[in-house]
Structure 1
């Protein structure tokens, strides 16, 4: 079979401690999975059915310890959201974990919400899913607790714990599987703690999760 365009390769995440890479198939994201974040966004953190959205693989920007991302078009209010990222391997079981930043064009998201429209233009763009290297689960064990932080230009903005998730990783995977089968190569952004905020060109976001290598993102 011949194609009218050259085939492209999927984005790939480095695997810590090896020379191998993890190819990304799909990016699933959980909306509002920490109570305090729900409150800061004006919601009520009752334990209800979780809500999901997705990003295309094109949105992934990866690095081992750091990555630079271009400030995106069509926004004057770009926000950061640090998250635990789960990478699914063979049989769609957990392969490992990483640190991610879910970037959001908050002004476009607000407009979409008011109009009752999808958030695609606010959540899905080049660099919208920054992801660190992946540490295999054999190294970390199951990650159900641990401090998660983001510092903007050295000032801590987000400081939570994975055990504050309303839905843990196993529950998230169960719900996602109910909509469409999870597949090897899928990654899941599991939600963000309170403290999200705006960033500008030149800002550096230093992210940590206990048990994982640190990760830094610079906007250029």
Structure 2
């Protein structure tokens, strides 16, 4: 066979071989594009607290550990994250945490996965913890304090809700701001406050103290030394409530 036809035939075989290998490589790489999944345990972190984020790289349907990831936060004022996926809550709110896998032999560009971290108030207190009201009609207002994971008070944060759990015969009433109004002696209640995932309770008891006693009638006109008069007494607390 002349040299020219042999050269043409060789070129055709080379082109076909390259095409076949290209198809094989395309199938190999397209079936092995990795995805990055970010899983946030519990999806909440307390202010001044931290939690570990877990990122999983999957290549061709198989988990592949050991890849180096770059971590970032959408709002560093709310939550920050280090190079190992350790996230720390700084302020109440939400932030999107991104784990990025750089370019690899299996990818044409970076691959990213995200997870949302909600930063919440981890602790709440009510004071006083136990209160006794001595007059029906008196009002006691409880003081709330939101605290971070280190116990530091967080100013400007108040409970989302107050609820009153009372005895069956109680006439205590809850008014806005965490205040309780007493109606009669013997009433007991538990006030529950909530803010984010934190809760706190305080007890309120009404025990009237008698400060004035009145006897009726205040004047007796007896018609004889053997006459009998029925006396009645009335007790009053500081607010002149019976």
Q: TM-score, normalised by structure 2?
A: 0.22
More strand by share: 2
Structure number with larger C-alpha Rg = 2
**Relative contact order, CA 8 A, sep 6+: which one is greater?**
1
Structure with the higher fraction of residues in helix conformation:
1
TM-score of the aligned structures, taking structure 1 as reference length: 0.24
